[in-house]
Amino acid sequence: MVLTQRSYVRRPTLEDVARQSGVSKSTVSRVINGEARVRTEVVDRVRRVISELGYVPNQAARQLVTHRTNAVAVVAAQPENRLFIDPFFDLLLRGIRRELALHGAQAVLLFLEEPDDYARVADYLGGGHVDGAILFPLRPGDRLAEIIDRLGLPAVFGGRPLLRDGDPERPGQAHVDGDNRGGARLAVQHLVALGRRRIATVAGPYDQENSAVDRLAGYRDVLRDAVSPPLVERADYTRQGGADAMAALLDRHPDLDAVFVASDLMASGALQTLRERGRRVPEDVAVVGFDDLTSIAETTDPPLTTVHQDIEEMGRLMARLLLAREDAPDGPSVIVPTRLVRRASA
Q: DSSP character for 338?
A: E
User: Total residues contacting a second copy (rule CB under 8 A)?
Assistant: 64
Verify binding: residue 70, DNA, rule CB under 7 A: no
Verify binding: residue 322, a second copy, rule CB under 8 A: yes
Q: Considering only residues 246-305, where is the footprint of a second copy by CB under 8 A?
A: none
- State phi, psi for 315 to the nearest 5 degrees: -60, -45
Exposed e or buried b for every residue in 97-111, given b needs 16+ CB within 10 A?
Answer: bebbeeeebebbebe
**270: CB partners within 8 A, 6+ apart:** 202, 242, 243, 245, 246, 259, 261, 287
Residue in 18, 20, 30, 89 binding a second copy, rule: CB under 8 A? 89
Residue in 2, 3, 9, 65 binding DNA, rule: CB under 7 A? 65
175 vs 282: CA distance, rounded Å: 37
Residue in 44, 48, 58, 299 binding DNA, rule: CB under 7 A? 58
Residue in 48, 143, 150, 280 binding a second copy, rule: CB under 8 A? 150
Q: Which is nearer to DNA, 151 or 192 (CB)?
A: 151
**Least distance in angstroms from the C-beta of 62 to a second copy:** 8
Exposed e or buried b for every residue in 196-235, given b needs 16+ CB within 10 A?
Answer: bebbbbbbbbbeebbbbbbbbebbbbbbeeeebeebbbbb
Verify binding: residue 30, DNA, rule CB under 7 A: yes
Residue in 30, 97, 175, 196 binding a second copy, rule: CB under 8 A? 97
- State phi, psi for 53 to the nearest 5 degrees: -80, -15
279 vs 85: CA distance, rounded Å: 31
Helical (H) or strand (E) element with 321: helix 311-322
Helical (H) or strand (E) element with 181: helix 180-193
Q: Which is nearer to a second copy, 190 or 320 (CB)?
A: 320
Question: Per-residue x/- marks for DNA, 34-53, CB under 7 A?
Answer: --xxxx-xx-----------
141 vs 226: CA distance, rounded Å: 38
Residue 46's identity, in one-letter code, is V
User: Total residues contacting DNA (rule CB under 7 A)?
Assistant: 29
CA atoms within 13 A on the CB side of 125: 30
Verify binding: residue 1, a second copy, rule CB under 8 A: yes
Residue 57's identity, in one-letter code, is P
**Least distance in angstroms from the C-beta of 342 to DNA:** 53
Q: Considering only residues 193-222, where is the footprint of a second copy by CB under 8 A?
A: none
In terms of residues, how long is the chain? 346
Residue 14 binds which one of DNA, a second copy, none, with CB within 5 to 8 A depending on kind?
DNA
Q: Which is nearer to DNA, 42 or 194 (CB)?
A: 42
- CB-based contact 68:131 (threshold 8 Å): yes
Residue in 44, 61, 275, 301 binding a second copy, rule: CB under 8 A? 61
Give me the residues paired with residue 74 across strands.
Answer: 109, 134
Verify binding: residue 313, a second copy, rule CB under 8 A: no
Verify binding: residue 8, a second copy, rule CB under 8 A: yes
Verify binding: residue 14, DNA, rule CB under 7 A: yes
Of 56-64, 72-80, 147-155, 164-172: span binding DNA (CB under 7 A)? 56-64
Footprint of DNA on this chain (CB under 7 A)? 10-11, 13-15, 22-27, 29-30, 32-33, 36-39, 41-42, 55, 57-58, 61-62, 64-66
Footprint of a second copy on this chain (CB under 8 A)? 1-4, 7-9, 11, 54, 56-61, 63-64, 67-73, 81, 84, 87, 89-90, 93-94, 97, 101, 103-111, 113-114, 116-117, 120-121, 123-124, 126-129, 131-132, 150-154, 322-324
